[in-house]
């Protein structure tokens, strides 16, 4: 089966050499040498300061909300992976959904302001599929209303916006290093804070609020990254150029093939930002066409995925009662096609051919 993504695995001998060093030191977690090394190397690679490694991206979101003192309501996008909204609910924060722009698929800044009230404390935008949000407009709104911004940058590893890392905007950004993401540590994530004092608070939080022996100074949780995760990250980081270039080839071939198709539209990329080629979504004219395409691909053992479905205002536990028609409509008609470094050209040709056939027959 060809899946929508395939975890990039580095040279096993290299990973084993890290594992050997973990075994000989006997130190498996608690801010070990590889976690420290990965934090340092990621800061350099990404061009950021104040980066904290976390056991996964969802807890990175939750710890970021806590460290920044978010409560009440947060305005976010309905078009994202479920963790963007569920992490808010889990922290007792009500997600309020601003509809998206149908071209960029990101939160529409002009839909945010009317949703702000006295309970609003934050905006939680997502750089969906690695495509930069309208950051300047969002930051202006946040400043005018004294709100914090936490960017869910789970898809935006390595993306630059206006010449610097996209992770340097807002009060915090989070990354996910899950095995399905562009860069991974098996499971993992990170928070990048603007302000060092929030980093220090979060560092304490992820280790039970324990600053040292015989002390507990604050409420905390346990979501530290361990040494085996960090070792995977150090190996994968060495190969980022290969990963980036091979994804770029796949991405460009899809784009060239589909750009003349009626009945298929592609996400419009922010012109101020670089791309990381993390996903390849196609937006179809109808859900019916989506089902026809998915069935045709499944018959060839190719499994595309409905990212993201359903639109998050429809989650049973959110009880939003909100209507966000653009997101609801896009969520019904969008399908992500397989993209990963070693996707075979013949398989990609077959995917493109299938899309072409279905579109010309039913589109
Ligand atoms: C993957 C993802 C997350 C969650 O990250 P995990 O590391 O899987 O917990 C959060 N937000 C978005 C947009 C994601 O795609």
Query: How far, in Å, from the CA of 359 to the mean position of ligand 1?
Result: 31
Query: How far, in Å, from the CA of 50 to the mean position of ligand 1?
Result: 20
User: Tell me: the pLDDT tens digits for 2-11?
Assistant: 999 999 999 9
pLDDT at 182: 97
Domain carrying residue 247:
240-361
User: Tell me: the pLDDT tens digits for 43-97?
Assistant: 999 999 999 999 999 999 999 999 999 999 999 999 999 999 999 999 999 999 9
Phi, psi of 168 (to 5 degrees): -90, 5
**What is the spatial distance between Cα 58 and Cα 175, in angstroms, rounded to a whole number?**
9
> 89 and 159 share a domain?
yes
CATH (domain of 122): 3.40.640.10
Q: Left if phi > 0, otherwise alpha if psi is -120 to 50, otherwise beta: which for 47?
A: left
Is the pLDDT at 222 greater than 90? The verdict is: yes
For atom 6 of ligand 1, the residue with the nearest CA is 57
Residue from 53, 56, 58 to probe ligand 1 pocket by mutation (most atoms less than 8 Å from CB): 58
| β-pair type (160-161, 189-193) | unpaired
CB 131 within 8 A of CB 273: yes
Half-sphere exposure (Cβ direction) of 112: Cα atoms closer than 13 Å: 30
Reduced to 3 DSSP states, what percent helix, strand and coil does the chain have, rounded to the nearest 5?
40, 15, 40
DSSP, residue by residue, 63-107: HHHHHTT--SEEEE-SSS-THHHHHHHHTT-EEEEPPBPTTT-SB
Query: How far, in Å, from the CA of 87 to the mean position of ligand 1?
Result: 10
CATH (domain of 244): 3.90.1150.10
> 205 and 320 share a domain?
no
User: Tell me: the pLDDT tens digits for 304-330?
Assistant: 999 999 999 999 999 889 999 999 999
Residue 7, in any domain of the structure: no
pLDDT at 363: 76
> 46 and 175 share a domain?
yes
User: Tell me: the pLDDT tens digits for 152-175?
Assistant: 999 999 999 999 999 999 999 999
For atom 7 of ligand 1, the residue with the nearest CA is 57
Residue from 55, 63, 83, 125 to probe ligand 1 pocket by mutation (most atoms less than 8 Å from CB): 83
> 197 and 261 share a domain?
no
Domain count, the chain: 2
pLDDT at 241: 98
> 119 and 74 share a domain?
yes
Pocket of ligand 1 (CB under 6 A): 56-58, 80-81, 83-84, 126, 152, 154-155, 176, 178, 189
DSSP state of 164: E
pTM of the model: 0.98
Sheet-wide strand order for 334-337? 264-266, 280-284, 334-337
pLDDT at 320: 85
**What is the spatial distance between Cα 72 and Cα 95, in angstroms, rounded to a whole number?**
9
């Amino acid at each position: 089966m060809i899946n929508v993504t395939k975890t990039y695995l580095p040279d096993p001998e290299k990973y084993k050499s890290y594992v050997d060093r973990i075994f000989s030191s006997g130190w498996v977690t608690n801010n070990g040498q590889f976690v420290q090394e990965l934090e340092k190397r990621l800061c350099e690679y990404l061009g950021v300061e104040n980066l904290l490694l976390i056991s996964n991206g969802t807890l990175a979101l939750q710890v970021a909300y806590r460290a920044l003192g978010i409560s009440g309501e947060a305005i976010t996008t309905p078009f994202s992976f479920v963790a963007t909204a569920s992490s808010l609910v889990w922290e007792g924060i009500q997600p309020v959904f601003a509809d998206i722009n149908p071209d960029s698929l990101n939160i529409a800044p002009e839909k945010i302001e009317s949703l702000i009230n006295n309970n609003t404390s934050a905006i939680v935008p997502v750089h969906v599929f690695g495509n930069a949000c309208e950051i300047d407009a969002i930051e202006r709104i946040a400043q005018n209303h004294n709100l914090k911004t936490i960017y869910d940058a789970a898809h935006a590893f390595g993306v630059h916006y206006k010449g610097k890392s996209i992770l340097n905007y807002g009060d915090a950004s989070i990354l996910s290093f899950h095995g399905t993401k562009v860069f991974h540590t098996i499971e993992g994530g990170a928070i990048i804070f603007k302000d060092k004092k929030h980093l220090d608070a979060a560092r304490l939080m992820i280790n039970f609020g324990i600053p040292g022996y015989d002390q507990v100074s604050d409420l905390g949780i346990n979501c530290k990254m361990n040494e085996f995760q960090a070792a995977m990250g150090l190996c994968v980081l060495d190969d980022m150029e290969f990963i980036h270039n091979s994804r770029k080839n796949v991405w460009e071939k899809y784009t060239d093939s589909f750009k003349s198709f009626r009945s298929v539209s592609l996400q419009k990329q922010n012109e101020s930002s670089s791309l990381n080629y993390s996903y390849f979504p196609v937006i179809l004219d109808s859900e019916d066409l989506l089902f026809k395409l998915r069935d045709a691909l499944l018959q060839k053992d190719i499994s595309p995925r409905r990212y993201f479905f359903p639109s998050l205002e429809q989650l049973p536990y959110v009880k939003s009662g909100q209507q966000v028609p653009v997101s609801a409509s896009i969520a019904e008609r969008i399908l992500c096609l397989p993209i990963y470094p070693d996707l075979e050209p013949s398989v990609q040709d077959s995917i493109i051919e299938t899309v072409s056939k279905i579109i010309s027959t039913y589109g």
